[in-house]
Structure 1
Amino acid sequence: MRVRDLIIWACLSALVLFAPAVQASVSVVDLLSSSPDFTLLVRVLQRSGLIPVLNMGRNITFFAPTNEVLSKVPPSVDLPTLLEYLIITDPIVSTEMEDDYRVYFSHLRSPSSSDYPVPIKVKHVQAQPGEPSDGTGKRLVVGSANVVRHDWIADNGVIQVVDSLVEIPDTLCHALSRLANGPGVMQFFAQLFVQHPWICILLAESEDTATVLLPTNAAFTHFSPIELNYLVSTAGHDDRLKLIGEHFMYSPLYRQNDTTGEGNDYPLLSGNMLHAAATEDGKIRFNNEVDTIETDILFQNGVMHTLPSLIVPWTYFAFTPLKYLYGIGAVKFAEELIFHKYRPTLVDAQILQTIFAPIDSDGSDSPSSEKTLGYHFVDYPITELLPGVIPSRLQPSSMNWYHQRIKVTTQGGATYVNGAARVLRDPVVIGNTAIVPIDRPLEMPPKMSLAAGTVVGGSTMMEFMRNLDIFNEPDLRGWTVFFPNDAAWSALGSVTKYFKKKPEMARQLLLSLMITQPLYSVDFTTEITDYETAFGSRIGLKTGKDAKKLSFVSTVTQAEDDVELADTDLLFESGVIHVLGSVPIPEYIEITPRQLLDAEGIYVFVDLLEATELHTDVLADDSQYVILAPVDAALNFEKITTATLNLATQLGLHILRRRNLRSGRFIDGESAFDSLVPGISITVLEAEGQGPDSEDQILSIYNRPANSWRFEPVRILSKGMTSSGAEIYVVDTVMPMSALVVADGRSWWQRHGVLIALGAAAGIIVISMVSLGWFWIIYQGGRNWNHNRSFANNVKSIVQFRNGLSGSNGLGHTLLSSDDSDSDSNDADDEDEEDAASAVGEGTPFLRQASGTLGSRVTGDEETDEEAEEAEHVEMRGGR
């Protein structure tokens, strides 16, 4: 060996000998390999290539699952990814943690953001008795895993042994989508968020991270359901995006970011700045107002904080009637309004108005014209929808620029508008605007002919209006039509027939029932108000306590005609219809007895009245008689003509005198009416089961002097009343003359015995006189034959038998004859005239008509003895 080689060897030996001792390092993998509890873990780490990560890492933390934990993991689970998520890039020593929790970042990179490590939250909580702790009474919790062995420290990091694996969090957008589709306390905001998917698209494309401030459902409790519906609707896009923009930022915000405790400002998606500061109780306070409920909910690409309320106030959204229309589902209606330039009316909640809004439904149409759209508006807010008529905003020319009305009714617990549109809920109020949701658009009032056709029992009035062409009145604009129903026209009886035969009078009547301005039931007052009719006259109207009654008041005489309102406020294109239960006839339309009898075709009876000159008073225009007019067929059947004996008496049974106009109608049967035959009164009896308006009646014919009565069934074919108060009853039978000799209750001998005795005595006298006469003739037989023949020619034998009225009571028979005197022809003529006068009762008040005077008619102002009349009527009815 050379010297040089020896020197080199010596130097190297010295270096080795005198070099300091170096201690070998212990890594996280070494610690895991030294324990039999982690053999399965080490094998998985080797297979997944994570050994170099653990060996080369510095100041790392590994949450290591034991063999027992790994043996329970299903084969489908991606263990390498889960284990990589458990490798934290910061050292975590339990005994050194000061916060209750802290967010750390794992070695795993987010699939949605390759530059962003997936965060993980580690909690430092109080250990319960029996639970493993770090020696300070606390323990670590990571996700759903509990640390069962704390702070196993290696040279390059710390091992925390866990009892389970930790699930990797989802992405923000997936988590929000899951919340939106399932029940939960954060569902509503998530539903708003997912309607803007472009936010998540931008987040994924930029591979950025974000923060979501998630209000719970409770944050929206001060919003009405309509406002919430609006926010989720298509129309709520802008407000919804504004709301999301105030609760979203493209950067991660953790509580631990506030290192000073004074807070920091962060830019929001909306462009506004958000101030966030950590609180002492582990929360974050935003804008110095809202504290988080749960802080730092971690996701792969961001973080979420839940809030009890919104960051912005409710007024931030500035809700308007238009937004409410969208909120109640009246989308088509709202779009039509915008198209027809109604937006200014819809975006100002301070406008006083009510909107009837049709809700969208399958196959439904929305109003399409500006006119029909205007009909859905009212110029004041309606907070409670009650039955009645409401003035719409529409003022068409067909209404003479008056407001067209909307009619509200109720039926079966539901509320309807214009009879067809059903109200779906109470009015919704936003500011000074009320919105009434309805199930279909409002129908415009139809033409008058169609509206009148809806009146139940209105065929008679419809016939009048068609025949008179009232429907086509050129000036029919903004009118009120009083529309008598069929019952009203039927009650007029003969008067209706008269109007049908006299079109010019019918037109006058109908025009007098039309007012030249719209007048609704709400306009009727207890004070008399004058209105102009379509005929050009004026009429007063008022109501009483009973709203179902309407009084037509004459502006001339102030006479009132109370009429029942059968129905009110039937709207039509040019006005309104009110249905009446009777027909008010103005005083300038005069109805006379002759007109009614002519309308009924009563001709024979009128001719007979004229033949007896009774027509002068009975058929006068101001007559107030009750006329029982037999039809022509009845008079012809009874062979009653102008040659009928005692014709005036026969007719007098059909003419009744009203004692005063307050005694009621004859048909009511409340009073007995005196006939023109003295002592004979007639009244109506109600048969069992029928009322006074029945056609079949029973008349009680009362003979006052004889205190007797007769019941006569009669059928009243028609009836009517004249303007002066006369009543006309068309009957199917003739009043019997036998009523004048009605039995008075005595026996046959009592009633006729005296007459028989007188007749027998008269017979004996006659026989005696005849015998004496023949004896005298035989005795004088030889006398001049010419003298005898002259005597026979000059004896005037007059025997007359007429049914007439006695001087005392107008009843019985009068026998007229001449005695056997030799009086001259003048004396005989005088006796004949006296006998004839006696036969017809010239001295009686009734038959003074023979000389052309009937006596003064009874008027409504005539003094009457009503108590005597009633007593007499009671006596009559008591005898029945």
Structure 2
Amino acid sequence: MASVSIVDLLSSSPDFTLLVRVLQRTGLIPVLNMARNVTFFAPSDEVLKKLPTDSDISTLLQYLIITDPIVSSNMTEEEAVYFSYLRAPVAPDVPLPLKVQRLLSSDQVTADDAGIQLVIGSGAAKVVRHDWVADNGIIQVVDAMVPIPGTLCEAVAGSANKGDIRLFSQLFGKHPMICFLLRYAQDTATLLVPVDSAFDVLNDVELSYLMVNAGHDDRLRFLGSHFLYSSVYRQNDTLGLGTNVPSMSGAMVNIKKSEHGIIFNGQVDTIESDVVFQNGVIHTLPSFLTPWSYFEFSPRKYLYGLNATRFTDELLFHKYESVLDDTNRVQTIFAPVDGEGADMPVSAKTLEYHFTDVLIDSLDDSMVLPTRLSLPSLRGRHQHVLLTVDENGEFWIGGKSKVLRAPLLIGNTAIIPIDRALDLPPSLHYAAGSIFDARTTLQIFESLGLFDDDIVTGSTIFFPDDSAWEKLGSVAKFILGSSEVVKKLLCNLIFTEPVYSSDFSSANSSEYETAAGTRVSIKTDDSKTWIEFNMGNVETVAPLGSIDILYDGGVVHTISSIPIPESINITPRQLLDAEHITSFVELLESVSLAEDVIADHSQYIILAPTNSALAVSNVTTTTVDLATQMGLHILSRRSTPSGSFLSGPSVYDTLVSDVHVSILSELSDNMYELRIVKHPRIESNQPIRVLSSGVSTSGAEIYVIDRVLPVSALTAIDDPRWWQAHGVLVGLGASGGILGMVLIGLFWLLIIYRGGKNWRHRQTLGGKDKSFVRFRRSFSGSGQSIIINANGSDEEDDDDDDAIGEDTPFLGRAASGRLGSRVNVEEFGDVDEDAEEVELPSRSNEHSSV
């Protein structure tokens, strides 16, 4: 029988007329006729018509001629790589590979293809007619042309911004030398490419390090460990039992065929195998071929990964390699990242200020930390750095450098990136100048030259704010009036060593030496809102304001109360002198009270009117009751009250007998209502304004007031109106008086009525001009009748048994009745009440009779 070639079969079908002409024109007819056991993936005329006019048809057709026969029903692998008649320009000694995949098809083209579908070129073309057998080979009809694959470098570079191998591609693109070597070696290679998810084992800083220039060596080692010299395909005969292939980094890679791909180093199986290119093949991996520890990350690498390049280079210039490469050293590095115009430390001294030997693994609250920087201004001690948090929850170091992210841990080292280099603490003058609410203390330091004094070197200064001086009142005026006293006070608030808030203890007090040579113990609460000073027998609790204000020679803490040391003795007279209270003192001396009241040991409460107040009230040494006037202003404690005199409501005795006072209420700022009481009588309230106050060392309280307490208040207390003294009785008496007036009115109405009637009766009987009667008054229950016995007779009416009262002289006129009988009477006027017999005078036109 005559031989039937591949060209004969193509010529016999009208679907390949154009293809045969193209084969003739490109000189491929002899190639196909001479070929043996080849496979031609033949495009139909319809496919050729769709090609661009500038297509290199000859090259495309050569790529579809495979040097091995491929029969779909005989393919034992799901995919395989075959070599074409085409040679790649970059590797002319190696035929260009073509990948063929066998898929199960649900769309059977022919009845005898057993549901098998072939695709070639990683799915670029599909076989639509299978296994057209010629004597010298196999024809597989395809529905598209297969593009010529690019190079490995082109493939990887093209994936740098897309696809699932983007990160590896970015790393690969930073080493063009690899592509240069491939191009000029004219050989093939294998790239093992981890997909992007494989990089999840690295944090963003570690990945960043691999991307920056400083990561060049590690990056090249990483790429080299994934780069194999020679092409490794899954169907290689040597892979069945496994083989070792050298990588570019020099390490041997163990390769073995798996069920669906290739296993590298016994652990990493491929996601996709045999992605072919002109000069090699790519296998994608789900993880690194080397473990994470392969990179040997260190603090130095982390600093580069954080883009703290200039800072790190400076450290290396000053020989800090051992510090930067030791992952076991416990430390925290404050790392300023590169930024446009950012200041960088330039000296080893400044660099050390960016290190602390404390591991800060999280940022929760403000803290003050010792750095590695030791300074002569601190007497060789380590300078500290202050880490604070603002109202927005952002952290700052030194008040100027912003923390950019949470601490990063590498071994026992923590790295805190900041937006700028740390500034060393300024001089005390500049540091204290930032305390806007302590101008008084600033002025004192300035005037006494303490800013430049050696006592502030290596020290702790408790800086009273303005409110602390205001609380002292008169004491502050006394202290500030003497440079010697105020310096002594401040020296007791300066410790000879730095004491930071981290040194404060809430459980136990700590003792320190002061610049004055005394010993002071302090302790505070856990929240560090107050601090307790114990200066010998003097204990003061002072609210803390701003703490840990660092300066080049120590630290400043502001306080809102001033502890007065034992060495400063403050007497009542000194407080009065500080307030220029001279007139009041002179008056106390004139009444011999000064020696006791304003003595050094005095514990009185002194209400001291100003000089002008005494002048307005005209109180002088000649004033009547001056001793009483002065005594009213001097108070003594009945017991030890809680709080000061103004806090009330304790009662205090004055030097005036039985007179005591208390604060009734606070009317407004510094204005109080004072209650003056003399037991057991009424009270008198007096408003006073307290202009200033102070407490002496002995406990005497001095209050400068704007007015004189009037003696008239005491007068009103000594001579009360009788109705004031007997208020209840007056009320009862008034009610009884009204009732009595009503009864008297009724009584007189009765007399008038009975008197007229009896007078007419007497006129009928006749009468005498006058009579003398002896009488005994005995009021009946009604109080309106008496018994009359005439002519000295002692006869008594038998009906008088119910009479009450005693024998009482009484002058009255009988209106009617008989001797010894009860009669009604009228008052005649004033007579001798002791007389038993009286003459009843006659009245004009009337006669008296009995």
The residue correspondences of 1:539-558 to structure 2 (distance < 5 A) are: 539-543=520-524, 547-555=528-536, 557=537
Query: RMSD value over aligned CA atoms?
Result: 2.4
**In the aligned structure 1, how far is the partner of 2:104 from the partner of 2:597?**
119
The residue correspondences of 1:146-225 to structure 2 (distance < 5 A) are: 146-182=126-162, 184-225=163-204
Q: Which residue does 2:632 correspond to in 1?
A: 653
CA contact (8 A) 1:531 1:538 kept: yes
**Per the alignment, do residues 133 and 376 of structure 1 end up closer, same or farther by CA in structure 2, a change over 3 Å counting?**
farther
1:594-624 per-position Cα deviation (integer Å, ceiling 9, x unaligned): 1111111122222222233321111211111
1:70-94 per-position Cα deviation (integer Å, ceiling 9, x unaligned): 2333435433322221122333344
Shift of 1:125: 3.6
Of stretches 288-297 and 743-752 in structure 1, the one that deviates more from structure 2 is: 743-752
Of stretches 407-416 and 577-586 in structure 1, the one that deviates more from structure 2 is: 407-416
Aligned-partner residue type, residue 651 of structure 2: A
Aligned-partner residue type, residue 156 of structure 1: N
Shift of 1:25: 4.3
Are 2:316 and 1:338 equivalent residues in the alignment?
A: yes
Shift of 1:63: 0.8
Q: Among residues 546, 550, 562, which one is paired with 2:541 in the alignment? A: 562
**In the aligned structure 2, how far is the partner of 1:491 from the partner of 1:656?**
22
The residue correspondences of 1:282-681 to structure 2 (distance < 5 A) are: 282-385=260-363, 386-411=365-390, 412-525=392-505, 526-543=507-524, 547-555=528-536, 557=537, 559-662=538-641, 664-681=643-660
Are 2:709 and 1:738 equivalent residues in the alignment?
A: no
CA contact (8 A) 1:458 1:485 kept: yes
Of stretches 57-66 and 342-351 in structure 1, the one that deviates more from structure 2 is: 57-66
Of stretches 392-401 and 303-312 in structure 1, the one that deviates more from structure 2 is: 392-401
**Per the alignment, do residues 37 and 717 of structure 1 end up closer, same or farther by CA in structure 2, a change over 3 Å counting?**
same
Shift of 1:490: 0.1
Are 2:65 and 1:84 equivalent residues in the alignment?
A: no
Q: Which residue does 1:703 correspond to in 2?
A: 678
Q: Which residue does 2:257 correspond to in 1?
A: 278
CA contact (8 A) 1:624 1:657 kept: yes
Shift of 1:642: 2.6
Q: Which runs of 5+ in 2 are unaligned?
A: 727-850
Are 2:704 and 1:726 equivalent residues in the alignment?
A: no
Q: Which residue does 1:37 correspond to in 2?
A: 15
Using the size of structure 1 for normalisation, the TM-score is: 0.78
Shift of 1:500: 1.4
**In the aligned structure 2, how far is the partner of 1:736 from the partner of 1:138?**
123
**Per the alignment, do residues 268 and 584 of structure 1 end up closer, same or farther by CA in structure 2, a change over 3 Å counting?**
same
**Per the alignment, do residues 544 and 660 of structure 1 end up closer, same or farther by CA in structure 2, a change over 3 Å counting?**
farther
**Per the alignment, do residues 613 and 493 of structure 1 end up closer, same or farther by CA in structure 2, a change over 3 Å counting?**
same
**Per the alignment, do residues 539 and 257 of structure 1 end up closer, same or farther by CA in structure 2, a change over 3 Å counting?**
same
Of stretches 491-500 and 421-430 in structure 1, the one that deviates more from structure 2 is: 421-430
**In the aligned structure 1, how far is the partner of 2:246 from the partner of 2:643?**
93
Alignment partner of 2:547: what SS?
Answer: strand
**Per the alignment, do residues 746 and 292 of structure 1 end up closer, same or farther by CA in structure 2, a change over 3 Å counting?**
same
Q: Which residue does 1:715 correspond to in 2?
A: 689
**Per the alignment, do residues 544 and 111 of structure 1 end up closer, same or farther by CA in structure 2, a change over 3 Å counting?**
closer
Shift of 1:683: 2.2
**Per the alignment, do residues 663 and 123 of structure 1 end up closer, same or farther by CA in structure 2, a change over 3 Å counting?**
closer
The residue correspondences of 1:836-875 to structure 2 (distance < 5 A) are: none
**In the aligned structure 2, how far is the partner of 1:420 from the partner of 1:271?**
49
CA contact (8 A) 1:354 1:381 kept: yes
Are 2:230 and 1:261 equivalent residues in the alignment?
A: no
**Per the alignment, do residues 45 and 625 of structure 1 end up closer, same or farther by CA in structure 2, a change over 3 Å counting?**
same
Q: Which residue does 1:55 correspond to in 2?
A: 33
**Per the alignment, do residues 667 and 518 of structure 1 end up closer, same or farther by CA in structure 2, a change over 3 Å counting?**
same
Using the size of structure 2 for normalisation, the TM-score is: 0.81
The residue correspondences of 1:9-158 to structure 2 (distance < 5 A) are: 25-128=3-106, 130-132=108-110, 135=113, 138-143=116-121, 144=123, 145-158=125-138
**In the aligned structure 1, how far is the partner of 2:69 from the partner of 2:526?**
93
Alignment partner of 1:256: what SS?
Answer: coil
1:150-205 per-position Cα deviation (integer Å, ceiling 9, x unaligned): 333334333221122212212111111111111x3221111111110111122123
**In the aligned structure 1, how far is the partner of 2:100 from the partner of 2:245?**
25
1:384-416 per-position Cα deviation (integer Å, ceiling 9, x unaligned): 223222222222222222222222222222222
Shift of 1:453: 2.5
CA contact (8 A) 2:463 2:557 kept: yes
Q: Which residue does 2:820 correspond to in 1?
A: none
Alignment partner of 2:18: what SS?
Answer: helix
Alignment partner of 1:642: what SS?
Answer: coil
Shift of 1:741: 0.6
**Per the alignment, do residues 52 and 457 of structure 1 end up closer, same or farther by CA in structure 2, a change over 3 Å counting?**
same
1:513-569 per-position Cα deviation (integer Å, ceiling 9, x unaligned): 1111111223223323321111001112223577433221233x3x42222223322
Aligned-partner residue type, residue 371 of structure 2: S
**Per the alignment, do residues 260 and 251 of structure 1 end up closer, same or farther by CA in structure 2, a change over 3 Å counting?**
closer
Aligned-partner residue type, residue 692 of structure 2: S
**Per the alignment, do residues 30 and 131 of structure 1 end up closer, same or farther by CA in structure 2, a change over 3 Å counting?**
closer
CA contact (8 A) 1:211 1:251 kept: yes
1:117-168 per-position Cα deviation (integer Å, ceiling 9, x unaligned): 2210123344435244765654433223222333333343332211222122
Aligned residues: 721
**Per the alignment, do residues 742 and 347 of structure 1 end up closer, same or farther by CA in structure 2, a change over 3 Å counting?**
same
Of stretches 452-461 and 295-304 in structure 1, the one that deviates more from structure 2 is: 452-461
**Per the alignment, do residues 747 and 615 of structure 1 end up closer, same or farther by CA in structure 2, a change over 3 Å counting?**
closer
Aligned-partner residue type, residue 137 of structure 2: G
CA contact (8 A) 1:218 1:308 kept: yes
CA contact (8 A) 2:455 2:496 kept: no
**In the aligned structure 2, how far is the partner of 1:616 from the partner of 1:719?**
21
Aligned-partner residue type, residue 44 of structure 2: T
Q: Which residue does 1:782 correspond to in 2?
A: none
**In the aligned structure 1, how far is the partner of 2:725 from the partner of 2:16?**
147
Of stretches 133-142 and 307-316 in structure 1, the one that deviates more from structure 2 is: 133-142
**In the aligned structure 1, how far is the partner of 2:547 from the partner of 2:417?**
25
Shift of 1:588: 1.6
Identity among equivalent positions (%) equals 50
**Per the alignment, do residues 750 and 377 of structure 1 end up closer, same or farther by CA in structure 2, a change over 3 Å counting?**
closer
**Per the alignment, do residues 402 and 660 of structure 1 end up closer, same or farther by CA in structure 2, a change over 3 Å counting?**
farther
**Per the alignment, do residues 742 and 363 of structure 1 end up closer, same or farther by CA in structure 2, a change over 3 Å counting?**
same
Aligned-partner residue type, residue 45 of structure 1: L
Shift of 1:364: 2.0
**In the aligned structure 2, how far is the partner of 1:750 from the partner of 1:52?**
148
Q: Among residues 207, 212, 215, which one is paired with 1:236 in the alignment? A: 215
Q: Which residue does 1:793 correspond to in 2?
A: none
Shift of 1:231: 1.1
